[in-house]
Structure 1
Amino acid sequence: MMIWAVFAVMTGAAIFALLWPLSRGQVPGFADTADARSLYRSQLGEIDRDMARGLIAAGEADAARAEAARRLLRVAGDEVAPAGETEPSLRRRRASSALMLSVVPLLALLIYGIYGSPDNPDQPLAARLEQAGPQQDFAVVFARMEAHLAANPTDTKGWSLIAPIYLRQGRYDDAANAFAAAMRNGKPDPNLFAGLGEARTLAAEGVVTASAREAFAEAVKRDPKNVRALYYLALAKEQDGDAPGAIASLNELLAGAPPDANWTAPVRDRLARLEAQAKGDAIAALPDAERAQAIKGMVDGLAQRLSAGGGTLADWSRLIRARAALGEKAEASQAARTARERLGQDAAALAALDALADELDLKEVKP
């Protein structure tokens, strides 16, 4: 009921604001008509005196006297005019008032009925926040953190907490600024230097820039086993074209990794790609005969590793393609059959192997 009372008060205020100008009569030019008549009579006397002293010419005096006389007559006419308004004017004002009194409330109710939700119950703020869930809670807390840091820019702990959040959100420039603020207002920490370097690298779309290298180098100087800094420095070597140096750095990083470290998998993948690329480059530089022998040795090594057990769809597909490329269709067909046996529980893998066999024309080849 309270909302309807508020609507009623607002509607009444709007109608009052519209009707107030219509309810007022014409305001006279002077509050006292007698004073106006006295003013104009005084002006006529002043004109006669000025003319007698020779201050104005006769023509100017006649014109001024005529103007003062007209104003005097106008005031005298307003005094004898009837105080009330004419009947047509009164009818127009009444019709306008009745129209506003009826149209404004009806129009307001119509608009609210179309765009509003009068049948929905109210929902307190606490209930809305509860339904929004943890994401809303995090957004509120994060906004408070940003407001706090804006008011307290020297809060080192706050900057060190918000910088990784910026990094995960993809706000790399903000993350770099936050890491820099944390180091500027507090004790430099190797993890902060590593975070600053990573933010600068990601802001440069994966390129380890000179400023990022400086941050990583400072992190390693303070902590020689800082994993993040060592990894990005290895990537910097790769970007510089020093593939052997990058491979050596990644091998050294993995050698010192704890057995349960969860970051070793992406590092091993990166190392495998680098080693494969390095082998490919080395093989490509060999003479034709030696190159063919080297490729054959690599394929045989892959086949031996897969025959010992395990292997993913990508590994088996690589072996099958390599055998077919070397003209060893019987071996390629056998590899396809073995792969189907090993990956028999994976329907998607079986479909991919069938498509590969069709592509390489291996279904009709007998072992």
Structure 2
Amino acid sequence: MTTMIWIVFAAMTAAVIAALLWPVVRGKGAPTEAERDAYDRAVFRDQLVELDRDVERGTIGQADAEAARNEISRRLIAASQNPSRSKGTEALPWIAILGALIIPAVALPLYIDAGSPMLADVPLAERMADAEKNNDFDALIAKVERHLAETPDDLQGWQILAPAYRRAMRWDDAAEASRNILRLSAPTAQNISDYGEALVMASQGMVPAEAHTLFKQALVLDPKMPKARFYDALALKQEGKLAEAKAAFEAFLKDTPADAPWRQMLLAEMQDQAAKPPALDQKTVQDAASMSAGDQQAMIRSMVDGLEEKLKANPDNLDGWLRLIRARAVLGDTSQAKAAYDKALAQYSGNEDALAQIASLAREMKIE
């Protein structure tokens, strides 16, 4: 029944369009070619007369007037020598009416097959309101950004925007949103940790000094905060304080449930301890924290390239392979991460425990 109704509507639409175009096809009421040419010549003559008047009034110079007169005369001659238009235009009305009839005929079957004529329209306001529920994050971000541009002290707006930025991996923006959340609300271990994590991700996985300070503040408020514990231990490891990092990781693992989503990442970092990265003195750490994002990334890439060279010389280093795969993935070097993953699988072929760890990391980093 619904299909029949839409067929009727389509037929009615085509009939109305045809009725409107029929006078054009027949040419009724339209000026003839001769009439249009006569009109053009009359207009050009009037323009020449008006131009002479402008010269008499002094509103146009002789040089400009001569140039304008030449152009108007050229058009007048062209109109006089071209009394009829291109005959190709005679087919245009028929093309228009055929198009008006063919388009509904083609569109209707497609709409019947794929369309939903009974589905109600969703108002724009409702779509924007349901943007997060419907995973329409672009709409969500745009909506809240416009709102916060006018009301930057709206805490709820920043609380919506921060996770949206994290989902979009816009880490610099996520850090700014988290900073505003802390500015507008009482500090909590969760909010402080979120801010610190955004700074870490914006630094390509390196824990800058500002972020480490934040994680320490979060742990004062909640010594069991998982995110703060993990990044605090990671910062110690990156600073070369391996004994302190090992103790922090082990204490965290002891309190971590077997089904905790961060457990595999924690185990990977603990296993990576065996790689024994070179200790960084405090000055190096401070210099890295003050670097621009580009310089930090260049330094990190240099360190990762060095690790890859070491693995070429000594490939029997599972922790090193796990570290390399993770680093390449975090840097966005997907093809190189996949290459490292394949080499690690080949290196530990037959070692079920090693293969399980490699596969787990690959799933986590989405590079399988």
- TM bucket normalised to smaller: 0.3 to 0.5
Largest Rg, 1 or 2: 1
Normalization by structure 1: what TM-score? Answer: 0.47
